[in-house]
Amino acid sequence: MESLGLAELQAEQDRLEQEKEVLEKRIKQIGRALLAQIRGIPVEDVDDYSVYRDREVTGAIERRQKLHEDELLAETETGREILRLRQEQDELTDVVWLATSPREIKTLWSKVSELLQDDATRLQQEALAIEPADE
């Protein structure tokens, strides 16, 4: 290696390989710490590296971002309207089902909502007002 002038480069490569191993070990430790923090458990209770780690961490971050976004939106009238429309969008399938349901289902839905003190959205109210088709 020396006679070819490669000894110095080989030594640097060996040193970098060792640094790489140290960094990979530290990245694994940080990954376990991230999961422990998200799960609310001690680091020792986290399995060794998990292929789901990145997905779980990303999911937790996205859920927290949505929570903060909702909090910010709730501070203004326009933001509250956006939140209301998002809720109606999320419940749209149920509203269509409700609109096409027979009278007994609509009555039951109304009673359950009343029992739960769950105010009907504007779309739900309109769906309840639609007369069922002849059965």
Full residue range of the structural domain in which residue 104 is found? 87-129
Does 69 share its domain with 92? no
Domain count, the chain: 2
| 64 within some domain | yes
Question: Same domain for 67 and 99?
Answer: no
Reading the block at residue 110, the tokens are 């109304």
Are 109 and 62 found together in one domain?
no
Cβ atoms within 10 Å of 38's Cβ, excluding its own: 16
Give domain status of residue 26, yes or no: yes
Q: What's the pTM?
A: 0.59
Torsion-angle region of residue 40: left (phi > 0), alpha (psi -120 to 50) or beta? left
- Which pLDDT score is estimated for 48? 66
Q: Is residue 30 part of a domain?
A: yes
- pLDDT profile of the chain (135 residues), mean per 10: 88 97 92 89 80 81 96 97 92 89 89 88 86 71
CA-to-CA distance for 13 and 27, rounded, in angstroms?
21
pLDDT of residue 109: 87
Same-domain status, 13 and 52: yes
